Amino acid sequence: KSIVEALKLDLHNPREQAIANTVIKRFDRDHFQRLLMNWIVARNHSFSIAEENELREIFDYLNPSVSVRDANLTHTTIKEKATSAFKQHKQKVVEVLRKAPGLIHISFDGWRSGNRHALYGVCWTNIAAEILDVIEAYQIQDKIGYFTLDNAENNDTAMEIIGGELGFVGKTRRGRCFGHTLNLSAKSILFGHKADAFERQLSGQAPLSEAEHLLWQKRGPVGKLHNVVVFIHRSDKLTDLLRELQRTAFDKSPDPKVRTKKPLDVVLDNDTRWLSQLYMIRRALQLGDHIELLIARYRVEFEQQHKTKRFPDPEHFRININLGWQKLDKYYQLLSETPIYYTGLALHPAYRWKWFDRKWAGNPEWIRQAKRIVHDVWHYEYRETRLPRMAVNDEKPALKRRKTYSNPFQEYLEENCCAAPAMQGDDSLEPFEDEYQHWISNHDSGDAQVRDPLAYWHEKRFKYPCLSRMALDFLTIQPMSAECERLFSAAGTMVTPLRSPLEAQVIGTCQVLRSWLRAGIIRDLDPFFVSVAEEKDNLKMAHMTDDELQEWATAWLENVVECHQEESSWE
């Protein structure tokens, strides 16, 4: 129907003609489609919901212009928009990468979506082929730097293949995700020997089976806690009682804020997400008194179905701490396979080789090996890279405001900074003098206070053009492959049960576009690819200073650690 027919207007009546014109002019087809797509994304609706007749009838009732202007969407619209946007922006990304100074570092990981799409195959040949295809597609074969990967063994072989194709030894370019290494060590402490095999064995058991219970019980105190949590989590009766115990305690409190608190539920860990055991343990500690009272009331039932000891065996802690240390030592022994760690630390002005001299004082051979590795990288890969040497900038860089927050890791860094020796004589660099040898032999008085090595080397690029390039290449290597995990989490919201037919290509295209937008490479991405909440966060962060952004990120991370996987509050 036309606007006139839908609204039953008389075109011979000037007033009604004006109404028709106003309705037509005020309807923004693009804005309507974006609102509709934002709703689909924000609520994780199926893409095909826009084709539902009942929904379209509502639109037509509210504004006939939706049908008149052919503004309704179809399930193919999303794929078409994603493909079109990807083609539109890809060349710009290629140009940005080609013009980027220095090396381009890569991290990759595999993920199986909720609709059972493996976003790359688990076979090492498939992994290498997929990564090489991406490198070729973005024309960065001659700019590839270092890779940050998790500790999966198939990544070793994948790196051999990638290195063979691109002309380097794979293992020398492979860094290991620091977060993954810590996670493996924590699992060894919690669950003992062969923690991964334990998880694989557990995942093959039927829910609530006796075998599952026994597997966890053998894993010490955390395994026993898991059994308690599962028992409560899967019992409506016990969950309600736990809430009731909390409410009773809250009501007795003289503090009005406590009396308004809502009960918390237990948090169930899982075998697919980092720190899930930490969240389970923290919540159990929060609910400790209430869980103890719950167990006391249902002791007989717990003893029959749970069968757990009250106190952990001290021997378990001793053995598992050693296992955790062994896991860390395993990857510590692999440091010499790559120059990443030695070079990054040696070229940090606040640490230099002094850090090695202090920490490895009892192992001089380790220090000699590390120095040999770093020197070889400089001598064979950077020393002869002749860049135009510009005049030294005498202006001192602006001092950054010191952070107002701290954490144990930051405190460790502060304690291990190396004070610079007193300067003697002229430290100017002669035209043909070796940059690396000159830098390690000369210290600026403020080097020990440097907290941003990237800014430091950016300032030194005039004096040390080749060495600064080497330092910036190594100091920009990702310490963790966390960005892959973030993308998997974002992609997971796209693959709900209602969206199970969604193709892997569409998932990947949408996530790549969102990533380009967050990186600031593109700025005119269709709002469909950005959730409403994300858009607000991006706008807020765009106006933050560096310190404000860091503080916001720290607060956000602390909140995630405290509240992640929290069950919905009981009304």
pLDDT in tens, the chain (571 residues): 566 666 666 767 777 777 767 777 778 888 888 788 767 755 657 778 889 999 999 998 888 888 888 888 887 886 787 788 788 888 888 988 888 888 999 988 765 544 444 444 434 567 888 899 999 999 999 999 999 998 888 888 899 999 999 999 999 999 999 988 888 888 777 766 555 544 444 444 444 444 454 555 555 677 788 888 888 887 888 888 899 999 999 999 999 888 888 999 999 877 556 677 888 899 999 999 999 888 887 766 556 555 544 445 556 667 777 778 888 888 899 999 999 999 999 999 999 999 999 999 999 999 999 999 999 999 999 998 765 444 444 444 444 444 555 677 778 888 888 766 655 556 677 777 899 999 998 888 888 888 899 999 999 999 999 999 999 999 999 998 877 766 666 555 555 544 555 666 776 777 777 777 767 777 665 655 554 445 555 556 566 676 666 666 556 555 544 443 333 333 3
Task: Looking at the structure, tell me whether residues 361 and 465 fall in a common domain.
Answer: yes
Dmax over Cα atoms in the chain, in whole Å? Answer: 99
pTM beyond 0.75, yes or no: no
**Tokens for 83?**
């493909």
Asked whether residue 385 falls in the same domain as residue 450, the answer is yes
Q: Is 553 part of any domain?
A: no
Q: Are 94 and 138 in contact (CB under 8 A)?
A: yes
Q: Are residues 153 and 253 in the same domain?
A: no
CA-based Rg of the chain, rounded to a whole angstrom?
A: 30
Residues 19/9, Cβ–Cβ less than 8 Å: yes
Residues 6+ apart with CB under 8 A from 17: 9, 11
Residues 208 and 293 in one domain: yes
Q: Comparing C-alpha atoms, which of 439, 480, 434 is closest to residue 457?
A: 439
DSSP state of 360: T
Burial profile 191-216: b = 16 or more Cβ within 10 angstroms, e = fewer: bbeebeebbeebeeeeeeeeebbebb
DSSP one-letter string for 214-266: HHHHTTHHHHHHHHHHHHHHT-HHHHHHHHHHHHHHHHH-S-HHHHT------
pLDDT given for residue 499 in this prediction = 52
Tokens 């002791």 correspond to what residue? 299
Task: Pick the closest to residue 36 from 57, 59, 16, 17 (CA basis).
Answer: 59
Measure the CA–CA gap between 99 and 112, rounded to whole angstroms.
34
* DSSP-H helix ranges across 312-351: 314-332, 340-346
Q: For residue 556, is it within any domain?
A: no
Residue type, 96: V
CA angle, 462 as apex, 458 and 465 as ends, to 5°?
A: 85
Backbone angles phi, psi at 307, to 5 degrees: 55, 60
Residue 89: what pLDDT?
83
Inside any domain, residue 389:
yes
Question: Is 337 part of any domain?
Answer: no
Q: Are residues 320 and 365 in the same domain?
A: no
Could you tell me how far CA 346 lies from the centroid of its own chain?
27
Token pair recorded at residue 503: 């193709």
Examine residue 517 and state whether it is found in any structural domain, yes or no. yes
Two tokens at 2? 């036309």
Q: Is 296 helix (H, G, I), strand (E, B) or coil?
A: helix
Element (H, E) at 280: helix 276-286
User: Given CA atoms 560, 562, 566, 571 in this order, what sign does their dihedral have?
Assistant: negative
| Closest alpha carbon to 499 in 13, 192, 47, 16 | 47
Q: What is the pLDDT of residue 498?
A: 47
Angstrom distance (rounded) from CA 92 to CA 100: 12
Q: Are residues 167 and 114 in the same domain?
A: yes
Cβ within 8 Å of residue 325, ≥6 positions away: 185
Range of the domain at 292: 184-324
* 232 in any annotated domain: yes
Domain-ending residue, one of 20, 43, 73? 73
Which residue's entry shows tokens 């207007």?
Answer: 9
In a domain, 131, yes or no: yes
Verify that 298 and 202 share a domain, yes or no: yes
H helices, E strands: number in the chain: 29, 3
Q: Give which of 459, 427, 432 is closest to 444, Cα–Cα.
A: 427
CA distance 217 to 201: 14
Going across the sheet that includes 104-107, the strands are 104-107, 144-149, 174-176
Last residue of a domain, one of 53, 73, 93: 73
Residue 240 tokens read as 């309600």
Q: What angle do CA 461, 465, 468 make, to 5 degrees?
A: 65
Q: Are 146 and 105 in contact (CB under 8 A)?
A: yes
276 and 246 assigned to the same domain: yes
Identity (one letter) of the amino acid at 125?
T
CA–CA separation, 548 and 564 (whole Å): 23
Q: What's the pLDDT score for residue 396? A: 46
Spatial separation of the C-alpha atoms in residues 263 and 261, rounded to whole Å: 7
The count of residues in the chain is: 571
Do 201 and 316 fall within a single domain?
yes
Number of structural domains the chain divides into: 4
* Consecutive H or E run containing 486: helix 482-492
Using the 3D structure, point to which of 475, 503, 521 is the last residue of a domain: 475
Q: Are residues 233 and 167 in the same domain?
A: no
Residues 238 and 114 in one domain: no
Tell me phi and psi for residue 118, to 5 degrees. Answer: -85, 120
Based on the fold, state whether residues 272 and 193 are members of the same structural domain.
yes
Taking phi over 0 as left and psi of -120 to 50 as alpha, with beta for the rest, 100 belongs to beta
Q: Helix, strand or coil for residue 560? A: helix
Determine, yes or no, domain membership for 227. yes
